[in-house]
Amino acid sequence: MAASLLPTQIDRIAAELDSAGLNRIVPLLAEWREAATQVQSSLQQCIQILGHAAPSAPAGAAVPPLIDLQATLKSAFLTHLAHRPDLLVSCTMHFPDRLPVHGDSAVWQQVVGHLVDNSLLHGFAGRDQGAIQITGTLLPGQRVLLHYYDDGQGMGQQIHRQLRENGFSLGQGQRKNGLAVVHDLVQHRMGGRLELHRPAKGFHLSLEATC
């Protein structure tokens, strides 16, 4: 869906600017992303009007329960932020009025918990504050799309390339990092996929999963 690509297109536009141009539009990036979310939300309402049926399941298999995704992710954020009382971090969430999805709330909390930990440990290293933004929309075909941003220091080109090439792992013989755990959960427990983006500033990851 073209609307689902808007956040990525905003990142690409920002990446094409020089530092002077980027500094002029940084205050507008959040507004652009919010506008993109509103477009996605309007489409989301159309999908809900048409009806969001429960996902099909193999004979004898239980359909996952219906959960409030925004409330689930907010709980995960607050739980993990409590481990770092020295940091002042805000989390803005952009969701449709209601985003009920079929899924395991514990798995969703693990996924977002690892992303938040990654931001706290790496993105905001050497800082005492930061901002996280999470947007979510439903896609046709019983799928949900989540975008996760932070305004931290981001990651170097070499680390970014290594993660993409090695399935979000930093290499054999090393302790599995949080992004590798997220990749495994999304791929094997949620029937989805991850995409690691290269924003002009900070960190941006999107995931698509069944719901």
Q: Please, what CATH class does the domain formed by 2-51+64-210 belong to?
A: alpha beta
Which of 36-50, 52-66, 69-83, 101-115 is predicted with the least confidence, judged by mean pLDDT?
Answer: 36-50
Determine the Cα–Cα distance for residues 18 and 174; give it in Å rounded to an integer. Answer: 36
pLDDT at 175 over 50: no
Instruction: Say what the pTM is.
Output: 0.71
Torsion angles phi and psi, residue 114, rounded to 5: -65, -35
- Kindly list the domain boundaries of the chain, sorted by start residue: 2-51+64-210
* Nearest alpha carbon to residue 108 among 151, 139, 77, 154: 77
For the segment 14-32, what is each residue's pLDDT rounded down to a tens digit?
676 666 666 777 666 666 6
Q: Is 195 helix (H, G, I), strand (E, B) or coil?
A: strand
For 8, what's the count of Cα atoms within 13 Å in the CB-facing half-sphere? 13
pLDDT at 44 over 80: no
